[in-house]
Amino acid sequence: MDRMILKQMTFFGYHGVFPEENKLGQKFIVDLDLRINLSWAARSDDVADTVNYADIHALVKEIVEGPPVKLIEALAGRIASAVLGTYTIIHEATVSVTKPNPPFAITFDGVTVELRRTRDKAGNIVAVEE
Number of H helices, E strands in the chain: 4, 5
Does the annotation count 99 as an active-site position? yes
Query: How distant, in Å, are the alpha carbons of 74, 104, 111, 121 from that of 43?
Result: 37, 50, 39, 29
**DSSP E strands: which ranges in 1-101?**
3-13, 26-36, 90-99
Per-residue DSSP letter, 105:
S
Catalytic entry in 7, 27, 61, 99: 99
CA distance 92 to 89: 9
CA angle 34, 91, 120 (to 5 degrees): 135
Q: Where in the sequence numbering do the catalytic residues fall?
A: 99
